[in-house]
Chain A
Amino acid sequence: MIRVSTEREAFACLVDRYEEKLLRYLKRIMPGLGEEAHDVLQEVFIKAYVNVQGFDTALSFSSWIYRIAHNEAINWLRKKKVRPDTVALGDDDFQTFAHSMEVSRGTHEYTLTKDAVARTLSHMPEKYYTVLVLHFLEGKSYEEISDILTTPSGTVATLIHRAKKQFSSMHEQHD
């Protein structure tokens, strides 16, 4: 009983540590879905608790729990047959993303940059949008993204490269 209690207390610490990050990530890849993101987050932590003995110590715990979060989000979207709504970029997110994507701001060529970026992201395929969010907004390395998406790191690099190319061409078209 004492051991169970200790384990659950430890788990509660993990929930407190990762709650904010995971909720932010879920809202980024499931934009426009308010309360549902909290439901999914709850499921993520339940799954993490039930499968904690399956945690591969070769991974970082962060990558492992992000993997669960990502899979739960995708499953939820597929179950509801919902396509994510228009991406809503906060100012910080926009600045981080724009800087990474080398998009000019405030010039006459890009007058609606923030909205245009959000619109462009909303129309991108899920696999490209996900890697862009994980790399540029969540700050994950290629190896971490590989562990989260269970994809070879070479494929991650290719996806990011193609995502950036597609973003640039779509962004120019929208402009």
Chain B
Amino acid sequence: MIDEQNKTEAPHLSKKILDLIEQKGLNPKPKWHFFVREWVVWGMVCVALLIGSLATALTIYIGNASRFMEHHILFSDLLFLFRLVPFLWLFLLCIAIFYTVYALRETRRGYRWSSSWLVALAVGVSILIGSSAHALGVGEAIDRYLLTEMPMYRPLTNFQPKMWMDTDQGVIAGTVTNVEKETFTLQKLDGEVLKVVIITENDNHPFRMPHEGMRVRVVGTTTIEGGENVFKSTLVQPFHGRGGPLTNHVRISQPSEMKER
């Protein structure tokens, strides 16, 4: 019964619609309208992926810079360790991934992909590009710029250069100024000069002796020998401290080169 009724009305609807189109002066939207929309959406996807990649690069960089501390504080200060996690950049990474998935769904055929596949794609691309950016020093450059130009950024990422100057904590950093047989002089980041003795029986040293001008971080304990403060080191490593000018950062050679020394 419904079909018969429809058949009676069928010849009139197309005419009615054409009359309505004529009356309202309607025209099809031009092709470029849809073309531009699609490109805008893909542009949003690219911007979101770029932000995700940068957030990944910074997460890797700050995570690596902090990793030394986690090994040597040995979980004695979990709150301190917790604060070393780059939450700001992880949060931005999550936002970027969410937005990438949302924008991909808005593309012409994006609805055909499942959410889990889109999330995996967004995460994968962010990690791939972010890792490459980190290897090129992009994360470090951005972190250094923000630490220098935006003071409000420092507390957000728990930037604490002082943690490298605390001999009581057993972790110091600075520039090697003088090298002797099993000792070297270290000018700490705060300018204080300290004699460092390398304990030879310890196998943790990736290389035996740093060279003058090298920036290092040192783990050990403070003792007094012959009336002077001496730092007995159990570990010496190249130092890629965060903050650039704020910690007077100077580029040093890679660990593999130092191992050959």
Contact = CB atoms under 8 A, between A and B. Distances in A.
A77 to B, nearest CB: 20
Contacts of A54: 29, 33-34
A94 to B, nearest CB: 14
Contacts of A42: 13, 16-17, 20
B3 interface: yes
**Interface size, B (range):** 20 to 34
Interface string B1-28: 0110011011101111110110000111
A11 B18 contact: yes
A51 B11 CA distance: 23
Interface stretch (A15-23, A105-113, A118-126): A15-23
Contact of A146 (B3, B28, B111): B111
Contacts of A16: 10-11, 13-14
Nearest to A21: B6
Given A24-B2, A50-B26, A146 B17 contact: no
Interface in B109-138: 109, 111-114
B25 to A, nearest CB: 11
B13 A19 contact: yes
Contact of A49 (B21, B111, B112): B21
Contacts of B26: 46, 49-50
B30 interface: yes
A114 interface: no
B181 interface: no
Given A51-B29, A151-B111, A20 B18 contact: no
A8 B21 contact: yes
Nearest to B118: A152
Contacts, number: 77
A30 interface: no
Contacts of B33: 53-54
A141 to B, nearest CB: 14
B31 interface: yes
Contacts of B34: 53-54
A54 B16 CA distance: 23
A146 B6 contact: no
A53 B29 contact: yes
B162 interface: no
Interface in A53-81: 53-54, 56, 58
Contact of B28 (A41, A45, A52): A52
Given A16-B10, A20-B10, A23-B6, 10 more contacts: A8-B18, A12-B17, A19-B14, A20-B3, A20-B7, A24-B6, A50-B26, A50-B29, A53-B30, A146-B112
